[in-house]
Amino acid sequence: MRMSEQRFDAVVIGAGPGGYPAAIRLGQLKVKTCVIEREYMGGVCLNVGCIPSKAVIHAAKTFEKMGHAGDIGINIASAPTLDMTKLQTWKSGVVNKLTSGVRTLLKGNGVTIIDGSAKLEKSGPDGHRITVQTKTGTETIIAKNVVLATGSRPIEIPGFKVDNGPTSRVIDSTGALALGEVPKRMIVIGGGYIGLELGMVYAKFGTKVTVVEATPRLLGSMDKDCVAVVERKLKKMGVELMYDTKAKSWEDKGDRAVLTVELKDGTLATVDTDKILLSIGRRPNSENLGLDNVGVALDKRGFVVADDHLRTNVAGIYALGDLIGGMMLAHKATKEGEIVAEIIAGHKAAFDARTIPAVVFTDPEIASTGLTEDEAKAKGHTELKIGKFPFAALGRALSVNDTDGFVKIIADGKTGEVLGMHIVGNGAGDLISEGAIAIEMGAVVDDLRLTIHPHPSLSEGIMEAAAAAMGEAIHIINR
């Protein structure tokens, strides 16, 4: 075992979508920086989250479209078949390209990389002392500044121990992305974005999927009208939706698993399945970091408490991303990582985003930024201008045979200021940034209406929805 001591101006603990951008930006700003990562270079997002899930979502959508190619005159001699081994190999290749790129970027910006588990030991006049357990022993690091970016992990519920092995019955999103074969039946516990994204993937591959949701609706934070479009698609695909239903326990019967649920009226029911996908949210990775050793404050749910400068209550220690809660999104963490680097380097910066767009990669996609109707009214916007434009009236959507959904714009009725944009349909995640920039710049709905959009394109739906809010849409009857 070797023992060494190194000194840095900044140490970033965690190399996920918040940590590695923080380290890269610190390197660019000529701050002597080290990044410590215990498991996944690139974090959950690049390795077992955002990127691999979008890869299998793309594969599932392609598989489904091939099955309907005859609708547009492309005749395939036989039904498409799925090779899960090849799919997993392709998905892993996508992940490897990105994770190796992260290491290259860190090294190229002069950042020292240490693979190991970090723990804060104490803080003092000479800085923050950190020990790192590596494969070769223990290293000690003294840092003037520490950035905590350790992310989050799936929540488990009592009686549903996750084991992502090939024969396991109870899996989480990591396990669902690594299955070697398509199960005949799958129960998804949780009607949030991760569960629905992966549930739809397997439904397209031929799995009989059941979604068990404890509340009265799916995707509770998203616009209700948008969610309704996805609900219709789920039902059309044969996915069973169980609302106001709680998972209580399960048993392995050898040839199947049996889930016991509690229905809205309090009665119990059982559902047979092959796999149980647990997807009820995420919790922060705030344990085993030695936060209590240095006095970093946590809230009741275990999130690190940080201000809009990403400062914790301990001088020189910062935190960001899923670890501090809020919208647990990779792009939020990335922006926070860039901001914290600027702050450590002595620049004036703070996290002051007016809006953070969110995307659910179901089919069709849902993307949202700003306020929903209910939120706008709750914030005192008593008069609203609301414009909706259906994809079915868009030439581009018709020409690519993908017409589910619409664009919805919410604006203040008196000033015309854009308050929210909600899109459900093909490419929603790519279109929503126009809404985000409109809100950030304080645009009024006329700014969107009067901006010439290319034809034929899906983005015309934004222009037309803005016109509809003013009662001036060209390609639909104005209400």
Which residues form the catalytic set?
455
- 165 is written with which tokens? 């092995």
Q: Which two tokens stand for residue 457?
A: 């394109």
**d(C-alpha 77, C-alpha 305), whole Å:** 59
In one-letter notation, the amino acid at residue 127 is G
User: In this structure, what token pair is assigned to residue 406?
Assistant: 């619409």
409/468 Cα distance (integer angstroms): 9
Q: How far apart are the C-alpha atoms of 173 and 194, rounded to whole Å?
A: 7
Nearest CA to 323 among 313, 314, 335, 310?
A: 310
- Provide the residue type at 98 as one letter: L
CA separation for the pair 148, 151 (Å, rounded): 9
Secondary structure (3-state) at 257: strand
Look up residue 218 and give its DSSP letter.
S
- Which residues, 6+ apart, have CB-to-CB distance to 82 below 8 Å? 63, 182, 205
What are the beta bridge partners of residue 142? 7, 129
DSSP 397-454: HHHTT---EEEEEEEETTT-BEEEEEEEETTHHHHHHHHHHHHHTT-BHHHHHHSPPP
The verdict on whether omega for the bond into residue 456 sits within 30 degrees of 0, i.e. cis, is yes
Q: 93 φ, ψ to 5°?
A: -65, -40
Beta carbons of 406 and 227 less than 8 angstroms apart: no
3-state helix, strand, coil in the chain (%, to 5): 35, 30, 40
